[in-house]
Amino acid sequence: MTAPITQDVLTLPRNLPETGKRNLVGLTREGLREALLEIGTPEKQAKMRTGQIWQWIYQWGVRDFAAMTNLAKAYRAELEAHFSIELPEVVTKTVSADGTRKYLVRIAGGHEVEVVYIPETDRGTLCISSQVGCTLTCSFCHTGTQKLVRNLTAGEIIGQVMLARDDLGEWPEQGAPKNETRLLSNIVLMGMGEPLHNFENVRDAMKIAMDPEGIQLSRRRITLSTSGVVPEIARTAEEIGCLLAVSFHATTDEVRDRLVPINKRWNIETLLGALRDYPRVANSERITFEYVMLKGVNDSDADARRLVKLIQGIPAKINLIPFNEWPGSPYERSDWARIEKFADIVHKAGYASPIRTPRGEDIMAACGQLKSATERARKSRKDIAAEAGLG
Ligand code: SF4
C-alpha cells in the first residue's frame, strides 16, 4: 500500500480573499433577492437578477462578478463593491491509497472541519460536516470526543460541496450539455456533527444542492444521517425531502444508551415510531439503519435477530460498518467472520445488509474517525472508557 499523499494546500493560491464583504454563498434565493434589493436593485428586476447570479455561482461555479457577462458592467461593479463569493479554505488535502480524499477545511473563526470524498465505480460520494465537534458523545465516534464548538452556516455546509467540485474540476462549461456522469454524484451528511441539531442551515444548504438551477443533485442522491433527534425527523421529509439514515448501532436500550447517549432522551421504541411514520418512507426510498460492528458489544446472533424484529414493517436497509479504530477508542472491530454471520442473518430475514468497505483508513478518513484539531478536545482515554461502561 503506497503512502497517502498530503498536499499543503495553503501554498496554492487561495480561492478567495477574506473581504469583509457580505458573502453570498449559502443565502437562500429569498435571502439573495433581499441582499440585492438592499444595494438598490430595482424591485421589478430583483427576481431576475437573483436567478442570474444564482446560476453563475451554483451552476457554473463562477466566483468573480466580472465574469457574469449577462449582467451590466456597472451592476457587476456594484456587486463587487458590496459582496463576495467565499468558500471555506482548504488547509490540507490528503489522498488515500484507495483514492479517498480528505480535506481539512478552515471556516470563519479559524475552526476546522473535515470533508471526505469517496470515489467508487458507479458514484462519487462526498461526506460533509454540519458542526465543529458535536453536540452528542457517541462513544464509538472520534468526533464525539470533541465538544461542540459551533454549528456550521449554510454557506460553510454547501461550501464543502463547492470546494470538492473545484478540486474535482466538476463545474460545467457554460452552454455545455448537462453532464449526467458526475464525479460528485452523492452527498451524505455523515461527517462531523448531528445535522438535525443544525436543521435550518442544513436545510438551506441542501436546497441549494438540489436546486435545478444550482448544483442540480437529485434529493434521492442526498442522505442525512441522524443519531435519533426524533422531533426533527418528520421535518426532514417535509422541508428537505432527502433520504434518511439512522445511527442505530444497538438492539437494546441498555447498550444503545452507552453507544448513542441521545437514546436516553428518545429510546429505541420512540425512534422506531418516528421512522414508521416518516412521511417519505417507501420501498423505493428505504431508511438506512447504520450499524457499527463492535466486538463483543452489539455483534451477536441474538443482536442480529433482534435487529430484524425491531425494524419489521419499515422499508429499510442495514449498513454494517466495521468499526474503524481511532486513538483512544475503547472498542475493537468485530472479526470478519462475525460480521459476515451477522450480515447473513439479516439478509436471510429479507433485508439488504451490505458491509461498508472501510475507505481512507490510512488517512483517518473512515467512518467515525473524523476529528479536527480545533480546540476543546474534551475527553481522556479514561473518560471515554467510563462513558462506554468499560472503565
Ligand atoms: S456519531 Fe454523529 S452524532 Fe454521534 S458523536 Fe459522532 S458525529 Fe456526533
pLDDT in tens, 165-198: 999 999 987 767 666 678 999 999 999 999 999 9
Number of other residues whose CB lies within 10 A of the CB of residue 274: 18
- Pairing between strand 89-95 and 5-8? antiparallel
Whether the CB of 370 sits within 6 Å of ligand 1: no
How many CA atoms does the CB half-sphere of 222 hold within 13 Å?
25
Residue 319 pairs with which residues in a beta bridge? 290
Whether the CB of 68 sits within 6 Å of ligand 1: no
Higher-pLDDT residue of 361, 310:
310
Between the CA of 106 and the centroid of ligand 1 the distance, in Å, is: 20
Answer whether residue 321 shows pLDDT above 70: yes
Answer whether residue 374 shows pLDDT above 80: no
Query: What's the whole-number mean pLDDT along residues 43-66?
Result: 96
Between the CA of 312 and the centroid of ligand 1 the distance, in Å, is: 25
Between the CA of 133 and the centroid of ligand 1 the distance, in Å, is: 9
Q: Give the position, in ligand 1's atom list, of the atom nearest the Cα of 135.
A: 8
pLDDT tens-digit profile of 253-312?
Answer: 999 999 999 999 999 999 999 999 998 888 889 999 999 999 999 999 999 999 999 999
Please give the Cα distance from 243 to 223 (Å, whole number). Answer: 5
Contacts 24+ apart (CB under 8 A), 339-345: 339/293, 339/299, 341/301, 341/304, 342/293, 342/299, 342/301, 342/303, 342/304, 345/301, 345/304, 345/305, 345/308
Element (H, E) at 173: none
Cα 220 from chain centroid (whole Å):
14
Specify the pLDDT at position 353.
81
Whether the CB of 136 sits within 6 Å of ligand 1: yes
3-class DSSP state for residue 319? strand
How many CA atoms does the CB half-sphere of 328 hold within 13 Å?
20
Under a CB-based contact definition with an 8 Å cutoff, are residues 36 and 21 in contact? no
Between the CA of 194 and the centroid of ligand 1 the distance, in Å, is: 6
- Fill in the DSSP letter of residue 259: H
Whether the CB of 192 sits within 6 Å of ligand 1: yes
Answer whether residue 9 shows pLDDT above 50: no
Domain layout of the chain by residue ranges = 22-84, 89-387
Buried b (16+ CB within 10 A) or exposed e, 240-254: bbbbbbbbbbbbeee
Burial of 364 (0-12, 13-18, 19+ CB in 10 A): buried
Whether the CB of 143 sits within 6 Å of ligand 1: yes
Q: Report the residue among 113, 129, 141, 290 best suited for mutation to probe ligand 1: largest number of ligand atoms under 8 A from its CB.
A: 141
Which amino acid is residue 311, in one-letter code?
A: I
Answer whether residue 98 shows pLDDT above 60: yes
Between the CA of 218 and the centroid of ligand 1 the distance, in Å, is: 25
Answer whether residue 126 shows pLDDT above 70: yes
3-class DSSP state for residue 136? coil
CATH architecture under which domain 22-84 falls? Orthogonal Bundle (1.10)
Specify the pLDDT at position 178.
62
Task: Catalogue the active-site residues.
Answer: 114, 367
Nearest-5° Cα angle at 90, 366 to 240: 65
Q: Report the residue among 146, 192, 194 best suited for mutation to probe ligand 1: largest number of ligand atoms under 8 A from its CB.
A: 194
At 280, list the grid cell: 417519505
Please give the Cα distance from 321 to 292 (Å, whole number). Answer: 4
Which CATH number among 3.30.365.10, 3.20.20.70, 2.120.10.30, 1.10.3720.10 corresponds to the domain 89-387?
A: 3.20.20.70
Whether the CB of 138 sits within 6 Å of ligand 1: yes
Answer whether residue 138 shows pLDDT above 70: yes
At 349, list the grid cell: 430475514
Give the contacts of 110 (CB within 8 A, at least 6 positions apart).
374
Residue 112 pairs with which residues in a beta bridge? 106
Give the contacts of 199 (CB within 8 A, at least 6 positions apart).
232, 235, 239
Specify the pLDDT at position 8.
42
